[in-house]
Amino acid sequence: MEEQYQVMPGPEAFLPPSAASMGIVLPDPGQAHIEGRLVDEEEAYEYAARKLLAAKVPTLFPGPLVLWRWNDKAAKKAAAIRKLANALPARLIPMADYRPKYPKINPAVEINPNHPNLTIWYNKIDVCIFIGVHCHQANLALKIIRGGTDCYTMAMCAQAGHEDACLSFRDADPAKIEKLTAAVEKLKSEGVKSEAEDFDQFVTAREG
Amino acid sequence: MSKEKIAICEDLADIMPPEYHDMVENATFGNQDRSWKDIGSSKELIEQHSLCAGCPESIAFRFIMSSIPNPEDSVFVGSTGCTSLVFPHVGIHNIHSLFGNQNAVASGLKRALAVRFPDRIKDVFVLAGDGATVDIGLDMTMQSWFRQEKFTTICFDNELYANTGGQESGLMQRGFVAKMAPKGKNFDKVRLPEIAFEAGCHYVAILTVSKPNRVEQAIRRATYVAREFGPTYIQLYTPCILEIGKQSMEGLDEMKDSESIGGRFVMRELMTDEVKAFLKEKEAEDKARRKKAKTVTA
């Protein structure tokens, strides 16, 4: 029997194959996938929390669906993301929109789905998680990251999940983000320490 | 989209780059008297663009974006061409349609918005080049006028197919020789403004974008008339400096030359008497409101 393809960190190739074409299927409700293996969601929380805590530069990439206050749920997700970032600690780098920016993006303070590798390289990010990025843009960015960097990618997807992430949750809501935070706090209480290098959270408001 | 949606989540506001804070705090969303004069002092709805340096189309974009009265409740429908390179950069909702289909897409969109938001004014604009409007998309363009769809069609007329290298278009002048039309065009420029008026447009304007006041007036008039009466059409001369052998600094002169007396882009407006009366009343109202606001501020 042919061995199952594993969605591992890259660099896979200039143009990595889509995980779906390699036989990776999306998780059902209540499940997640870890490197292509379908698992119970609870298992994935702990796995994701360990990955984030073990990273030198763990980074959360909040997208437009949580950065902009479309509704109260978006605001709740934003609050949960901030709590997760503080609990880890992790950097927060926004993907505020998807336009190709001219003349160039500033990789120190933002990420763009058209060339997310620039932000990964610049900040030496080794583990990241996408939250609140529209599916097609997340797919694009995840593939580029896996193609050209060695960053471990995760997706907290509000829809059906992402095959091209190394680890993906589905049906994300504020409660699920809180659960990930709780998993981080539990591991920390058990003595697992964050390996994150010291950093200052970017404050990019005009005053900053 | 509406103004209330243009807000940043408080918990993540500090990580947002300053340009987004500018957009929320200093853009002219919700200001019914917004105008081209806000360019440079307010956050613009188009800041960076991917067009050639000095391209008159980029000037047209700025004037249009700053002139539309209701940007938070407006949607642009575009078509393939240089315009479609700019749409990813604008702070207004937009839809990219298949080449030539823009007026059909806009028809469906306008009707859907009217059903979904019956108590709200939603403006729809088609913004496409002359190839999409007059050649390949003429069927869709004219059918939307025949059906009296209530939106504004704006044609960026550069008198050829610019971004594919200079092929002949219906709006090209007779005799003009382009890179991929070496024999010269052998029939007249299509008189689309007149055709538009005959096809049912209630307000039609043809002009260049050398004078922002005029562009603003035409855009606002077309928008108001489209809301009340039916289709409107604006044809803007936005010469492709590359394809007509000009330098970056010469676009403005080219437009000025073409609108001088006897030129093919002398500003013209076509409208019915009913529309004329409506605009007179509307503009008097707006003037009175602005005057009152000024007095209160003073």
Asked if the structure places residue B115 within a domain, the reply is yes
| Choice among B13-17, B41-45, B109-113, B232-236 with the minimum mean pLDDT | B41-45
What domain range includes position B274? Answer: 33-297
Lowest mean pLDDT segment, chosen from A13-22, A63-72, A152-161: A13-22
- The residue written with tokens 């009217």 in the block is B114
Contact B12 A92 (CB under 8 A): yes
> A78, B9: Cβ pair inside 8 Å?
yes
Query: So what's the pLDDT on residue B2?
Result: 62
- The residue-averaged pLDDT of A111-139 equals 95
- B280: CB partners within 8 A, 6+ apart: none
Torsion of the alpha carbons at B46, B52, B53 and B58, rounded to the nearest 10: -30
Contacts of B15 in chain A (CB under 8 A): 62, 92-94, 109, 201-204
Give the number of C-alpha atoms closer than 13 A to the C-alpha of residue B236, restricted to the C-beta side: 31
**Any domain includes B144:** yes
Nearest by CB to residue B7, choosing from A68, A99, A109, is A68
Write out chain B residues lying below 8 Å of A62, CB-based: 12, 15
What tens digit of pLDDT does each residue of B249-260 get? Answer: 999 999 999 999
Rounded to 5°, the CA angle B54-B56-B61 comes to 110
Assess if residue B283 is contained within a domain: yes
The amino acid present at A2, given as its one-letter code, is E
Collapsing DSSP to helix, strand or coil, B127 comes out as strand
- Per-residue confidence band for B1, with pLDDT thresholds at 50, 70 and 90: low
Count CA atoms closer than 13 A to B297's CA, side-chain side. Answer: 6
Residues 6+ apart with CB under 8 A from B8: A67, A68, A69, B16, B20, B21, B24
Query: pLDDT confidence of A208, banded at 50, 70, 90?
Result: very low
Evaluate whether residue B14 is within a structural domain. no
Distance in Å, alpha carbon of B49 to nearest chain A alpha carbon: 7
Residue B24 in any domain: the answer is no
The chain B residue lying nearest A104, using CA atoms, is B48
CB spacing of A69 vs B88 below 8 angstroms? no
| Partner-chain contact A203 B14, CB within 8 Å | yes
Nearest to B153 by CA among B171, B136, B129: B129
Residue A46 parent element (H or E): helix A41-54
The reply to whether A62 touches chain B by the CB within 8 Å rule is: yes
What are A74's two structure tokens? 């978006």
Q: What is the CATH number of the domain that holds B169?
A: 3.40.50.970
- pLDDT tens sequence across B67-92: 999 999 999 999 998 888 888 888 88
Averaged pLDDT score across all residues of chain B = 93
What residues of chain A lie within 8 A of the CB of B48, using their CB? 101-103
**Cis ω for the linkage preceding A89 (within 30 of 0):** yes
Checking if the pLDDT of B145 tops 90, the result is yes
The yes-or-no verdict on residue B293 having pLDDT over 90 is no
Question: What residues in B contact A79, CB-CB < 8 Å?
Answer: 9, 11
User: Closest residue of A to B21, CA-based?
Assistant: A205
Percent of chain B at pLDDT > 90 equals 77
Q: Is B157 helix (H, G, I), strand (E, B) or coil?
A: strand
Q: What is the pLDDT of residue B205?
A: 98
- Residue B160 falls within a domain, yes or no? yes
Task: Fill in the DSSP letter of residue B242.
Answer: T
Q: Which range has the worst mean pLDDT, A80-84, B40-44, B131-135, B174-178?
A: B40-44
Residue B41: per-residue pLDDT: 86
State the pLDDT at residue B91.
85
Is B179 part of any domain? yes
CA distance B37 to A38: 58
Report if residue B15 sits inside a domain.
no
Compute the distance between CA of residue A123 and CA of residue A35 in angstroms, rounded to an integer: 24
For the stretch B58-73, pLDDT in tens is 999 999 999 999 999 9
Q: Do A206 and B22 touch (CB under 8 A)?
A: yes
Each residue's pLDDT tens digit, A134-149:
999 999 999 999 999 9
User: What's the confidence (pLDDT) of residue B31?
Assistant: 86
| B46 close to B90: Cβ distance less than 8 angstroms | yes
**What average pLDDT score do residues A180-189 get?**
98
In this complex, which of B5, B12, B49 lies closest to A66 when CB atoms are compared? Answer: B12
A160 in contact with chain B, both atoms CB, cutoff 8 A: no
Tell me: the pLDDT tens digits for B198-233? Answer: 999 999 999 999 999 999 999 999 999 999 999 999
Q: Which domains does chain A have, with CATH numbers?
A: 34-170 (3.40.50.1220)
Predicted complex ipTM: 0.93
Q: Nearest CA of chain B to the CA of A201: how many Å? A: 8
The count of structural domains within chain B is 1
Tokens matching residue B204: 């039609």
